[in-house]
Amino acid sequence: MSRLDTKYWVVDKKDEKLTTNPQIQEAALWINKNEVVAFPTETVYGLGANALSDEAIAKIYEAKGRPSDNPLIVHIAKESQLQNLVKSIPESAEKLMAAFWPGPLTIIFESNSTVSSKVTAGLSTVAIRMPDHPVALALIEAAGVPVAAPSANLSGKPSPTNAEHVLHDLQGRIAGIVDGGPTGVGVESTVIDCTSTPAIILRPGGITREEIEAVIGPVAVDKALTEKGQAPKSPGMKYTHYAPKAPLVIVLGSNTFMQNLIDKERQSGKKVGVLATEESKQRYKADVIVACGYREDLKTVARDLYDSLRAFDKEMVDIIFSEGFPRTGLGEAIMNRLEKAAGGHIIKE
């Protein structure tokens, strides 16, 4: 691809007139020109383009190096935009929207074919969410079109939680970056398919299964999340993702067991990294130890996860051992991302 002059706009998310902010207006103009602009959401930075344009969506796939059979999530600023994109709104979806929009919940609807077929990767359904970030909402509103946006990173790399990550991966590959500061949640949105009964969670994320079931009752979970060999249906779940440069291994066992694995690799001359928590970081001896939040507060782990994985690239380690986390609440999303980053490489005591 030809190299672009990537523009950089710094926007204060506390600005009370964001929609008319000159920086937002300029970024929106590039989206209207069918170019690609990165912007912050409450989860991770997104790589946004006009969801109605085949030309614009093709540029997302090119910039990311992402396979075009991987569907994208459409971001909207108000519910009136939703009516123009879907055939109907199921009751379960209405309840979830009332409870969690704007927020880190993506809902699958039957598409009315208004969005580009490149967004849906040829599927009859479309994934839509309303982000809970003032800069994202202002940009979408200023652009006046629904904005398709996967995470703003090169395909396969850890998702970006600040504008510096985006600049590192995509400078020269996209038209511009809106820097609205660091994101909050840190892992992508939960994806739930409301076209079936019961609704099916296709990707765990910022809204937990427990929170969803408190609103609409029991839900199913996509077999691809629990069974190997099953093809995932959700955007962003089809290929290895979130991976640092060095091989990542998840260790399920005691601190002593993990230290033995660390020692063995170090004795063979490798530079070893450890992904731990603030509570456990003192228990290990390794070349690079990165604390990824507090085990007692998994929101901090989710928030810091991708930044922590990128930290190992800067340290140029040869292998990374990571602690595991409980598969309840937000831990389900954390373990899902770690397993994707590790390519499923888990060692149990």
Binding residues for L-threonine: 43, 75, 129, 149, 189
> Among 175, 87, 89, which Cα is nearest to 139's?
175
> Among 108, 122, 120, which Cα is nearest to 200's?
108
Token pair for residue 27? 């970024």
Tokens 């299964």 belong to: 209
From the number of C-beta atoms within 10 Å of its C-beta (0-12, 13-18, 19+), residue 226 rates as: exposed
Cα 50 to the center of its chain, rounded Å: 19
| DSSP-derived secondary structure for 201-255 | EEE--SS-HHHHHHHH---EE-GGGTSTTPPP-STT-SS--S--SS-EEEEES-H
> Among 38, 56, 66, which Cα is nearest to 174's?
38
Residue numbers belonging to the annotated binding site for ATP:
66, 70, 125, 151, 159, 203, 242
Asked if residues 57 and 111 have their Cβ atoms less than 8 Å apart, the reply is no
The three-class DSSP label of residue 181 is coil
CA distance 341 to 213: 28
- Contacts (Cβ under 8 Å, ≥6 apart) of 348: 252, 253
Tokens 């170090």 belong to: 266
Residue numbers belonging to the annotated binding site:
43, 66, 70, 75, 125, 129, 149, 151, 159, 189, 203, 242
- DSSP annotation of 294 reads B
Asked if residues 26 and 165 have their Cβ atoms less than 8 Å apart, the reply is no
- DSSP annotation of 61 reads H
From the number of C-beta atoms within 10 Å of its C-beta (0-12, 13-18, 19+), residue 137 rates as: buried
CA distance 241 to 101: 26
